Structure 1
Amino acid sequence: MSADKKSIKKVVLAYSGGLDTSIILKWLQTEYGAEVITFTADLGQGEEIEPARAKALAAGVKPENIFIEDVREEFVRDYVFPMFRANTVYEGQYLLGTSIARPLIAKKQIEIARKMGADAVSHGATGKGNDQVRFELGYYGLEPDITVVAPWREWDFKSREALLDFAEKHQIQITKDKRGEAPFSVDANLLHSSSEGKVLEDPAVEAPEFVHMRTIAPEDAPDQPTIITIDFEKGDPVAIDGVAMSPATLLTRLNELGRDNGVGRLDLVENRFVGMKSRGVYETPGGTILLAAHRGIESITLDRGAMHLKDELMPKYASLVYNGFWFSPEREMLQAAIDYSQAKVAGQVRVKLYKGNVTVIGRTSPYSLYDQDLVTFEEGKVAYDHRDAGGFIKLNALRLRVLAKRDKRG
């Protein structure tokens, strides 16, 4: 539903405590006269989130209207890991680090709106990007009659300078590096960091090294490889080097290993759902390792038909996540099929990390379908009659032979 200023008494704002959402908070108070409830999620973005509480209090938000929650375990367990069971990659490269966080934030906002009797929810996504779609599809998928306030599509600010003037007028703190044009825009969580805009807008120009915040340069990584093992159960990683870990702890450790070996950098021009192309620099160190390791354990535990079907379904699944349809029935249908395929995706993968590269160098599983006797060039114990292959080939060649004969006649 579109926003009706007179009908909105309480609004739940996705609040980072940064400049943009601080301006939005004050704008909601002044333009709507609404009581603002803030929600700040700790998604593992690597910054302190408690300062958001002080900033919200300073802006006049009641203490009981300030919600700050550590959702790292839920984020990795219920969103990141299910997505990685599908080996999800958008447009061949992007591991969907920003996309996968939005449905969780939307879910928490709706839960708070119900609890607090709020009339509306609000976010700080711009009118050009994907996140406005992801947030709002999430809201509507969970609460169909909720009112959404999208300030970037409503307010009259025409420039960054106008926003800063509004901030100064209302005594909103502006850090020194934000007073001018910010060099680029950053989004981060436990899965990844993304940088877009400003110095990155020309896709022909290499990103400056200072843009990267989650990884060292591959050329600066150690000259000796790092070798680790990752244990899987039902398609999810459960241990590193034999040490069992919770989902968020495990991903944090993979991030550290990836960072130290220059793993997970991506310079990408992608197609946004709203229709334009955008250039971004993404860093997904732990996710890059996890994707390679998961494919490694699947290679010996999944039947060919199941594996190939998963690979066919994955681009559709990736588009659904990228476009914001996490709570759609089709994503849930695909998830059910993917999860079914993971029942015996268990075992251990050995991975080598070296100067930006991730290489699977070993894999074992109690459910392995790999039969050395079948594939060996030596005389195997299992009977395999090489002559059977002749009939197999002739049957598969039948239609090709018919086509060739027709074309020869022509």
Structure 2
Amino acid sequence: MAKQKIVLAYSGGLDTSVLLSWIKDTYDAEMIAFCANIGQEDELKGLEKKAKQTGASKIYIDDLQDEFAADFIYPMMQAGAIYEGQYFLGTSIARPLIAKRMVEIAKKEGATAIGHGATGKGNDQVRFELTTAALAPDLEIIAPWRDERFRNEFPGRAEMIAYCAEKKIPVQASAKKPFSMDRNLLHISYEAGILEDPWFDAGDKKNKDYFTVLSVFPEDAPDKAEYVTLDFVKGNCVAVNGKELSPLKVMQVLNKLGGKHGVGRVDMVENRFVGMKSRGVYETPGGAILHFAHRQIESLTMDREVMHLRDSLIPKYAELVYNGFWYAPERLAIQALVTESQKNVTGTVRVKLFKGGIHAAGRKSPVSLYNPHIATMEADPTKAYNQDDATGFIRLNGLRLRVNSQVNGAKNLGSVGKAK
């Protein structure tokens, strides 16, 4: 009887090397390793040999950067998504892509399960598994960190290192970093370890060797501001400083520009889907610029009511991405509205980068809804706006307030505005 096949998310590090071998032995399975290049810039050379020495029958090493930028980051940027007002969703948006590719490989190879190394306390386990539920509900999920057998066997890194030595698994054990890191094309995140104290200052100069992979501290940025132009077509950035670029290249260029000036740095305490609060430090230089510039071109080209409707959905959309519901019908429905809202979001934005700040320095569009003749404080030569019309407009909008006051009087105001 043929062994079952299991596809495992694999990086070649200590944890996933142990997982690969342990799952293979525990489930008596054929292991197929998968590593996605989504811009983490890890050294992938030699990974195939390492995976096979560890027990994999095959390994897929796929460059998904173009797909990540065009089909995940860009649609999310069109939606203006940001979680709890601060987080640009860098890790969250990468997980459905990784899980989607794992499902594709599982179907191709005839695998019956996929495995991951996410812990039972984090968000990633949810994101991986909800994507699998949406795309391949029949696939089994193997999550060793939620398996008591695995936790009992490996209570710490020392046991993992000893296991690898016994099994002759080729891993280079190094001193554990004082925090956890996750990097991709959109951002790098830091959490756990020394960051579990929310009073710890990750922005202190003495920590710049830790939290400055993609960007410098603002105080270390150049003393001279830099101007950058971004061209948009239907809500997507298609050029930077006049040079046409693919979504991937746009992200790479903006990451360098933003990192140089220390923009997109976030330190926050967020609410995880599983119920706990978690402190995270993030560097999202390119994403911060793109998010800001996109909003600027929208302000010029987007109808007010369409913008306000879309904006009302931003918290929900961001929550769906954060919680792992990328392939849920409600996210797809909101995305359809977002796509429709972006059809006239075309034009150029100029931003100024300086000491951690992103500042608007100009906007223009061939489909601008801004009419200087109407907006002017001077006489309107087009006579498109009659100021006398405002009298009736205000009176009608104030009708319910006047009626309410006549019925309820001052008591309706309660203690509003009164100091206690």
Q: Deviations over 1:274-307 (max 9, x none)?
A: 0001111111000000000000000011000000
Any unmatched runs of 5+ in structure 2? 412-420
Q: Deviations over 1:129-176 (max 9, x none)?
A: 000000000111100111110011112333333333323322334535
- Residue pair 2:120, 2:146 contacting (<8 A) in 1 also: yes
Bigger mean CA offset, 52-61 vs 323-332: 52-61
Aligned counterpart, 2:197? 202
Q: Deviations over 1:19-55 (max 9, x none)?
A: 1111111111221121110111110012222332221
Structure 2 distance, partners of 1:85, 1:388, is 36
Secondary structure of the residue aligned to 1:214 is coil
Aligned counterpart, 2:172? 175
Secondary structure of the residue aligned to 2:209 is helix
Aligned counterpart, 2:294? 294
Aligned counterpart, 2:387? 386
Structure 2 letter corresponding to 1:162: E
Q: Does 2:97 correspond to 1:98?
A: no
1:7–1:296 CA distance, 2 compared to 1 (3 A): farther
Aligned counterpart, 1:109? 102
Structure 1 letter corresponding to 2:193: K
Aligned length: 401
Structure 2 distance, partners of 1:49, 1:283, is 23
Q: Deviations over 1:63-120 (max 9, x none)?
A: xx11011110000000000000011000010000000000011110011111111111
Aligned counterpart, 1:75? 68
Give 1:409 deviation, angstroms. Answer: 7.7
Give 1:228 deviation, angstroms. Answer: 0.9
Bigger mean CA offset, 7-16 vs 261-270: 7-16
1:191 maps to which of 186, 197, 218? 186
1:158–1:183 CA distance, 2 compared to 1 (3 A): same
- Residue pair 1:19, 1:173 contacting (<8 A) in 2 also: no
Q: Deviations over 1:282-333 (max 9, x none)?
A: 1100000000000000001100000001110111111110000011100000
1:354–1:268 CA distance, 2 compared to 1 (3 A): same
Structure 1 letter corresponding to 2:27: Y
Mapping of residues 23-62 of structure 1, within 5 Å: 23-62=18-57
TM-score by length of 1: 0.95
Aligned counterpart, 2:224? 224
Q: Does 2:126 correspond to 1:133?
A: yes
Structure 1 distance, partners of 2:292, 2:177, is 35
RMSD in angstroms over aligned alpha carbons? 1.5
Structure 2 distance, partners of 1:49, 1:274, is 32
Give 1:8 deviation, angstroms. Answer: 6.3
Any unmatched runs of 5+ in structure 1? 1-5
Structure 1 letter corresponding to 2:129: E
2:143 maps to which of 141, 144, 150? 150
Structure 1 distance, partners of 2:49, 2:267, is 36
Structure 2 distance, partners of 1:8, 1:391, is 78
- Residue pair 1:8, 1:119 contacting (<8 A) in 2 also: no
Structure 2 distance, partners of 1:405, 1:187, is 60
